[in-house]
Amino acid sequence: MSTQNYPAKSYPVGAKGVDRLLSLPQELVMLSSKAKYALRALLHLAAEVPGGAWIQIAEMAEQEQVSRKFLEAIFVQLRDQGIVESRRGAQGGYRLARAPDSVSVADVIRVLDGPLALTPCASRTRYHQCADCVDVKKCRLQSLMQEARDAVAGVLESCSLEQLAGKSRSTTNKTKALGRSSRTESRRGRASIRPVTVTRDERSLPVK
């Protein structure tokens, strides 16, 4: 989610202030596919706590419909940062290295996407002056970018894998309940329709 590697020469000629911010490529300010797949796969591991069963990459890749090599590369990064641990062998795989309530969504995103801030000068974990900045003390965007960073961090840092798993189960249960309710209402609707019997005398009445 960071834009720290955005080259200054890529800005449109003459772009200043907010214009530069709006000209950033969309993929640089959105959650990457790596972070999304990491979070989804980590929810599988969170479901195995407290048993701590080892889950094979192939199993998670199949469930998420993603390349095994792609997911393996993601988990290597997560392992190097102490979020998961691995074990080789037929009975090996991956499992969480920490309790799911101690791993925040922000922790995972920072490993794979970098700082949460939209600009490096707003980052609280990897602060540095923007490459195209003349004087950060005179920047009129920094305070706004810091507010945006704090708002995003407030949500992502306060949501753990355990909480996210609970939200996912709640959404799934609501969807299933809605489906059951719709089917029930449909059956009731069909049951309420009764055939109308028309007598011979009624058929002979003139149409008014």
> Secondary structure of the chain in the HEC alphabet?
CCCCCCCHHHCCCCCCCHHHHHCCCHHHCCCCHHHHHHHHHHHHHHCCCCCCCCECHHHHHHHHCCCHHHHHHHHHHHHHCCCEEEECCCCCEEEECCCHHHCEHHHHHHHHHCCCCCCHHHCCCCCCCCCCCCCHHHCCCHHHHHHHHHHHHHHHHCCEHHHHHHHHHHHHHHHHHHHHHHHHHHHHHHHCCCCCCCCHHHHCCCCC
Who has greater pLDDT, 200 or 78?
78
Instruction: Give residue-wise pLDDT tens across range 86-114.
Output: 999 888 899 999 999 999 999 999 999 99
Q: What does the mean pLDDT of the chain come to?
A: 78
Structure tokens at 7: 């080259």
What is the structure's pLDDT at 81? Answer: 96
* pLDDT confidence of residue 167: 75
Q: What are φ and ψ of residue 96, in 5° steps?
A: -65, 135
Which position has the higher pLDDT, 42 or 23?
42
Average pLDDT over residues 198-207: 54
CATH class of 8-157: mainly alpha
Predicted confidence band of residue 48 (pLDDT cuts 50, 70, 90): confident
pTM score of the predicted model: 0.67
Indicate the domain borders of the chain.
8-157
Closest listed residue to residue 111, CA positions, set 86, 85, 148, 74 = 74
Q: What pLDDT, on the 0 to 100 scale, is given for residue 5?
A: 46
Q: What is the arithmetic mean of pLDDT over 170-191? A: 57
pLDDT tens profile 111-158: 999 999 999 999 988 898 998 888 988 898 999 999 999 999 999 999
Find out whether 82 and 98 touch, Cβ atoms under 8 Å: yes
Please report which confidence band the pLDDT of residue 190 belongs to, taking 50, 70 and 90 as the band edges.
low
pLDDT of 150: 95
- What is residue 148's predicted lDDT score, i.e. its pLDDT? 93
pLDDT at site 181: 59
Q: Confirm if 146 and 122 have CB atoms less than 8 A apart.
A: yes
Confidence at 53, pLDDT banded by 50, 70, 90: confident
Is residue 24 within 8 A of residue 3, CB to CB? The reply is yes
* pLDDT of the residue at 185: 65
pLDDT exceeds cutoff 70 at 10? no
As a whole number of angstroms, the distance between CA 70 and CA 41 comes to 12
pLDDT tens string 17-28: 444 444 444 444
